[in-house]
Structure 1
Amino acid sequence: MSPAPAVGIDIGGTKIAGALVDSMGRITHREQLPTPGEETVDVLDTTAQMVTTLVAAAGGDVSGIGMACAGMVDGRAGRLWFSPNLPLRDLDVAAEIRQRTGHDVVLENDANAAAWGEYRFGAGIDCNDMLLATVGTGIGGGCIIDDRLLRGAFGIGGEIGHITIDPNGPRCGCGNDGCLEVYASGTALERYARELIASGEAKGAGLRHRCGGTPEALTGQDVTELARAGDEGAVALFAQLGARLGEGLASVCAVVDPAVVVIGGGVADTGALLIGPTTEAFAAHLIGRGHRPSPTIVVAALGNDAGLVGAAALARESTA
């Protein structure tokens, strides 16, 4: 008889996604609910509803229940300190869900869960030391060191998006100035595009036409579609984004020294447009370059499912 599936849940600002995941990291069943309103109790109740639905879909037999959530999470304690897109503050989420469902759960930061998913079943499989950078609206990170997930003393380890690149740079959503996230995220891509349009440079003509001369109307998807079509300005913006990402990752690698750097998140779906300039800048800024082995940079294999798969794997392994 095959082992019981584990439950993986990804609590996001707009939706709560859930899945049953088998012991090989394959998703066998999915559910999704909209993330409710702005009240803590509503988010907890909806998450508990997702747990109950998935356990029922598994016939009442699961090998663990794992939840991934964006924010500062102490995975060992099941506590979430702060979430930027959810009304959850200094809360024992694991205890709240256990009280509502009667089931023990494992809580982890979403990027950490995604890193574990890629490490166990994706682009970092069989790699003892791996760094995941998720490049989307912001930048998340997860580190695997000596086969262990780096959490830190308070569960906040691996927040690579908030290393300081320039203390005189733009304000980041975290409250500091000049974070990597400000320079190398999807939000940064949109800012770069609007700045190029406002500059009046000829290579911004395609972008200017796309938004009808209104830079604020331009989206990251617009820039991506133009870049894929070969638009000079849009391609240059991805080169600018990748250069800053590569510089930042090289700095992180001076600390954690991974064998593989996995790039995930929505912006990474652009493939070579981002990975090419990222790899080039990374190689140019890596400490000891030319005299040491260099980490390999690869695209994530699990896509948006990495958090679900990783949360389920962490829950399964916590009960083993």
Structure 2
Amino acid sequence: MLTVGVDIGGSSVRAGVIDADGTVVATAAVPTARDAAGLDDAIVDLVRGLAEEHRLGAVGLAIAGFVDPDRRTVAFGAHLPWRDDPVAERLAARLDLPVVIEHDANAAGLAEHRVGAAAGASVAVLVALGTGIGAALLVDGAVFRGAHGVAPELGHLTVVRGGRPCPCGKRGCLERYCSGSALGRAAEELVADTEEFSLLRATWERAQPITGWDVARAAEAGDVLAGRVVDEFADWLGQALSLVADVFDPDVVVVGGEVSASSALFLDRARRRYAEEVTGGAHRRLAEIRPATLGGRAGMVGAALDARERAGV
């Protein structure tokens, strides 16, 4: 029996048929609808299409938003139309299959723990670096959600008082300094403040946003300014991981998300900074900091495996 994982992001809905070992058997994708009915229809159509070729036992949804502890209701998603919406019950009725909802970072963390970089860890943390920062904490294989289902929200820890404004409404949040969008923002600030040659200058002079991918490509090409931006990013990541270790004391930290594709540029420096910053670093066992292994499929794989476990497939 196979299960389907559906990763619902702000721009696309991606579905994958997943076997018991976490192998992706088939995939399909459509753009994310902006209204609730349209999003429901898109998910149903994707799952039904996959069910024509595969015997399915359950469906897991990975969403970028708050999920109530009952795992049936979507409380809020900044880029999704559902608000305090019993999505699982409604979709289960239409699909005649069990439906389980999970936060996308938790789903990715589950996938990495079951079949990826954190396999076998007793306490594992996933830090997903993308446009913002997602995070998941697993203790003895179980996701820790907090009292209201929203923990751990690492990306919105205040690390610079009165710092860069964040879309969450606060200032100085970690994700304003340590995410894909932060890479681009830091590069724009540096290019604007110097006459130094950089491959990024042409993009900035055309008044186009500099992206994290732009910075990574320039750094890989030996661009000195881009290299400084990446080094600063690595230092912030190392500091963030030291905070994670001080609070959770994990044996493994997995660095995932889109930015992790360029981890060769920054992860070694981040590890060194982490070892320098963590409390009592010279007198304790340090967490292993590993790059994610499942890439962009982690959310759908984790959602499918979670649905398999909860539905008893």
* 1:131 partnered with 2:128: no
* 1:161 partnered with 2:152: no
* 1:54 partnered with 2:50: yes
Residue in 1 that maps onto 2:257: 265
AA matched with 1:196 = L
Are the aligned partners of 1:180 and 1:245 in contact in 2 as well (CA < 8 Å)?
Answer: no
Q: Paired residue for 1:295, among 284, 287, 290? A: 287
Residue in 1 that maps onto 2:10: 13
Distance 2:127 2:230 in 1: 16
Distance 2:112 2:284 in 1: 25
* 1:90 partnered with 2:87: no
AA matched with 1:47 = I
Residue in 2 that maps onto 1:141: 135
Distance 2:53 2:69 in 1: 26
* 1:276 partnered with 2:273: no
Are the aligned partners of 2:238 and 2:271 in contact in 1 as well (CA < 8 Å)?
Answer: yes
Q: Structure 1 residue 143: deviation in Å?
A: 0.8
Distance 1:24 1:248 in 2: 32
Q: Structure 1 residue 75: deviation in Å?
A: 5.2
Q: State the secondary structure of the residue aligned to 2:205.
A: coil
Q: Over residues 85-111 of structure 1, what are the superposed CA-to-partner deviations in whole Å (9 max), with x where a residue is unaligned?
A: 112222111122123322220000000
Q: 1:115 to 1:249 in 2, by over 3 A?
A: same
Q: Over residues 137-193 of structure 1, what are the superposed CA-to-partner deviations in whole Å (9 max), with x where a residue is unaligned?
A: 111001111221111122101221112212311221222221111110111111101
- For normalisation by structure 2, the TM-score amounts to 0.95
Are the aligned partners of 2:238 and 2:272 in contact in 1 as well (CA < 8 Å)?
Answer: yes
* 1:113 partnered with 2:107: yes
Residue in 2 that maps onto 1:64: 58
Are the aligned partners of 1:71 and 1:109 in contact in 2 as well (CA < 8 Å)?
Answer: yes
Q: Structure 1 residue 213: deviation in Å?
A: 2.3
Q: Structure 1 residue 226: deviation in Å?
A: 0.7
Are the aligned partners of 1:111 and 1:134 in contact in 2 as well (CA < 8 Å)?
Answer: yes
Residue in 2 that maps onto 1:40: 36
Aligned-residue CA RMSD in angstroms?
A: 1.5
Are the aligned partners of 2:234 and 2:266 in contact in 1 as well (CA < 8 Å)?
Answer: yes
AA matched with 1:255 = V
Q: Paired residue for 1:187, among 158, 178, 181? A: 181
Q: Structure 1 residue 127: deviation in Å?
A: 1.1
- For normalisation by structure 1, the TM-score amounts to 0.93
Are the aligned partners of 1:194 and 1:216 in contact in 2 as well (CA < 8 Å)?
Answer: no
AA matched with 1:192 = A
Q: State the secondary structure of the residue aligned to 1:154.
A: coil
* 1:286 partnered with 2:278: yes
Residue in 1 that maps onto 2:27: 30
Q: State the secondary structure of the residue aligned to 2:163.
A: coil
Are the aligned partners of 1:45 and 1:100 in contact in 2 as well (CA < 8 Å)?
Answer: no
Q: State the secondary structure of the residue aligned to 2:70.
A: coil
Q: Over residues 27-81 of structure 1, what are the superposed CA-to-partner deviations in whole Å (9 max), with x where a residue is unaligned?
A: 1111111112x212111221122222223321xx323211100011125332111
Distance 1:75 1:266 in 2: 27
AA matched with 2:268 = G
Distance 2:226 2:73 in 1: 41
Q: Structure 1 residue 16: deviation in Å?
A: 0.6
